[in-house]
Structure 1
Amino acid sequence: MGGCSAPNCSNSTTIGKQLFRFPKDPVRMRKWVINCRRDFVPTPCSRLCQDHFEESQFEEIARSPAGGRKLKPNAIPTLFNVPDPPSPISPAEKEQNLGDHGYARRQPKSEAEEAEGGGGGTQRQDVERACAQCQQYKAQLEQQQLHTARLQKEQAEEMRKKLHKLNKMEKGLQMFLFEDQIRALTLAKRSRRAVWSQDTVLTARKIRCAVGVKGYEFLRDLGYPLPSYRTLCNRLEPKIMVPSTMQEELVELGLGIISTCDSPEDNGAGDEALLGVMS
């Protein structure tokens, strides 16, 4: 068996000293630890020897099963060899709790029985008040959780409706726009990153010939996804640039000219025109 856990004490059973284990009751165990002047948590093997208890802490007649002296159920150790120690808990300050020193036959009192003593009513009221606050906080937390769940459900429903509306809009755009035109709607206005398909270029050329230069540029200013005039010139193959004065002569020669479109700077004068030639 080990020795005494008190500071500056090396007593053990080998020299005839009786050892007592720390009580299981946490309140009384804390008082023992405080009086020991040690910052530690007692283990089941921790013991204090008989030299740390006053004579008044032992029962006069009763003996332990091992034949040694028996501590009172509420005994508190107060004798320790510690320089300049803090004020210990005296036996007069101890509560009437029944401890367990390894041989005590009586069971410790419950908290309800201890509360029946002095100040028990106040402690019971404090506990009941704390429990009421806990229930109130719990109810508030449940309300907040329900409110959060309701908001999440409403937001999810709103997003679902917006997504359905966007899908319908996309299907409507696909009826008169190509995929590259729909993609161009998500880019900045007149963005140079737009990549136009050949179908879009041919359709844009027809629109420009139908509405004229000003009408075509007006549509592009409104945000209609159409290639620029330069893109039309670069993408149309085969192509030739001829003065407008030669248009009638080319028609008479029967070169298969299908259309003529004025350039953005052409106001009806004899400037160059873009001619698409049939292959």
Structure 2
Amino acid sequence: MGGCSAPNCSNSTTIGKQLFRFPKDPVRMRKWLINCRRDFVPTPCSRLCQDHFEESQFEEIARSPAGGRKLKPNAIPTLFNVPDPPSPITPHIVLPIKHEPVEKDLNVGDHGYARRQPKEDLEDEAGLQRAEEERPCSLCQHYKTQLEQQQQHIARLQREAKDMKKRLQKLNKIERGLQMFLYEDQIRALTLAKRSRRAVWSQDTVLTARKIRCAVGVKGYEFLRELGYPLPSYRTLCNRLEPKMMVTTSMQEELAELGLGILTECNGSEGNAANDEGLIGVMT
């Protein structure tokens, strides 16, 4: 928007000054021009800034639609910085002289945010303005829709976070229950594919698996592994145990005569399962 039309004044809206249009009423326009000390014909873009009006020329409470201060309906600018002002200037256009209504007869001002019009026209314009204000702005409606979508998305994420928290608590309880009879590597193996070669077994797991195999036998041990119980394979057990010399039962007496200690794979009932295989481990 342009700047102020008053002489020796360069105020504009860019520095926070509020500008007002010249009134449409010929009599009041003539007063503005005479006090302004300029010989020109105002255009629709001509403005005077707020610095040329005394405080008494502004409404105390009312505001313009843009939120700025509002001039009184009969406001006249009187503050101008013009050294040695010339005599009042008559504009090029001969303005008709008409009786100026008193202040109480004025309906509204006409400084860009209101126009002097007949009362009936003002009522029609007020009705149109109210209808315009009641009609929702397309941009506001777009932002409102986006806000509602964001709120729905946030609510959905909050519900998902709540469900995940419950699932995590449930999994923690399950893990604590598994830790009562499984080692960490066995719990980790449950997350791998069945019979995965990536499983890394600890020495405690290998020793426990050997005892289970001696207790339930070969078929029982393999049946547990088929069900998904996290146990190492028989090959892993053989590779992880200490080196032993495998002999048959017929060689036990000869080894005893040589004074070699015989270490069976299992003790008590465990030995029966090992003897079913026909193998006995003897320490070297």
Q: TM-score, normalised by structure 1?
A: 0.54
Q: Which amino acid aligns with 1:177?
A: L
- Distance of 1:66 and 1:109 partners within structure 2: 16
Q: Which amino acid aligns with 1:71?
A: V
- Distance of 2:39 and 2:219 partners within structure 1: 117
Q: Which amino acid aligns with 1:129?
A: R
1:20 Cα deviation (Å)?
A: 10
Name the structure 2 match of 1:30. none
**Alpha carbons of 1:198 and 1:163: their partners in 2 closer, same or farther (altered >3 Å)?**
same
Quick check: 1:236–1:276 contact (8 Å CA) kept in 2? no
Quick check: 2:262–2:282 contact (8 Å CA) kept in 1? no
1:243 Cα deviation (Å)?
A: 3.9
Quick check: 2:262–2:281 contact (8 Å CA) kept in 1? no
Name the structure 2 match of 1:163. 168
**Alpha carbons of 1:209 and 1:251: their partners in 2 closer, same or farther (altered >3 Å)?**
farther
Name the structure 2 match of 1:212. 217
For these two proteins, the number of residue pairs brought into alignment is 206
**Alpha carbons of 1:205 and 1:247: their partners in 2 closer, same or farther (altered >3 Å)?**
farther
Match of 1:69 among 39, 50, 58: 39
1:172 matched to 2:177 = yes
- Distance of 2:182 and 2:211 partners within structure 1: 14
1:185 matched to 2:193 = no
- Distance of 2:40 and 2:186 partners within structure 1: 98
Name the structure 2 match of 1:202. 207
Unaligned runs of 5+ in 1: 6-17, 26-40, 45-55, 78-97
Q: Which amino acid aligns with 1:116?
A: L
* Structure-to-structure mapping, 1:110-189, within 5 angstroms: 111=113, 113=115, 116=122, 121-130=127-136, 134=140, 138=144, 147-189=152-194
Name the structure 1 match of 2:48. 100
1:259 Cα deviation (Å)?
A: 2.4
- Distance of 1:274 and 1:67 partners within structure 2: 125
* Structure-to-structure mapping, 1:12-91, within 5 angstroms: 64-65=34-35, 67-72=37-42, 75-76=43-44
- Distance of 2:248 and 2:168 partners within structure 1: 52
**Alpha carbons of 1:216 and 1:143: their partners in 2 closer, same or farther (altered >3 Å)?**
same
1:256 Cα deviation (Å)?
A: 2.8
Quick check: 1:65–1:103 contact (8 Å CA) kept in 2? no
Quick check: 2:248–2:280 contact (8 Å CA) kept in 1? no
Q: Secondary structure at the match of 1:175?
A: coil
Q: Cα deviation per residue 1:207-237 (whole Å; 9 max; x = unaligned)?
A: 1112121211111111111111111111111
Unaligned runs of 5+ in 2: 18-25, 54-75, 78-108
- Distance of 1:133 and 1:200 partners within structure 2: 67
Tell me: higher relative CO, structure 1 or 2? Use CA pairs within 8 A at least 6 residues apart: 2
**Alpha carbons of 1:141 and 1:207: their partners in 2 closer, same or farther (altered >3 Å)?**
same
Q: Which amino acid aligns with 1:167?
A: N
**Alpha carbons of 1:175 and 1:249: their partners in 2 closer, same or farther (altered >3 Å)?**
farther
Quick check: 2:213–2:221 contact (8 Å CA) kept in 1? yes
Q: Percent identity?
A: 48
Match of 2:238 among 202, 224, 233: 233
1:113 Cα deviation (Å)?
A: 4.7
1:23 Cα deviation (Å)?
A: 10
- Distance of 1:109 and 1:60 partners within structure 2: 15
- Distance of 1:247 and 1:276 partners within structure 2: 9
- Distance of 1:158 and 1:187 partners within structure 2: 25
- Distance of 2:256 and 2:176 partners within structure 1: 43
- Distance of 1:142 and 1:254 partners within structure 2: 85
1:110 Cα deviation (Å)?
A: 5.6
- Distance of 2:32 and 2:188 partners within structure 1: 98
**Is the strand fraction higher in 1 or 2?**
1
- Distance of 2:176 and 2:277 partners within structure 1: 43
1:248 Cα deviation (Å)?
A: 6.2
Name the structure 2 match of 1:109. 111
1:164 Cα deviation (Å)?
A: 1.4
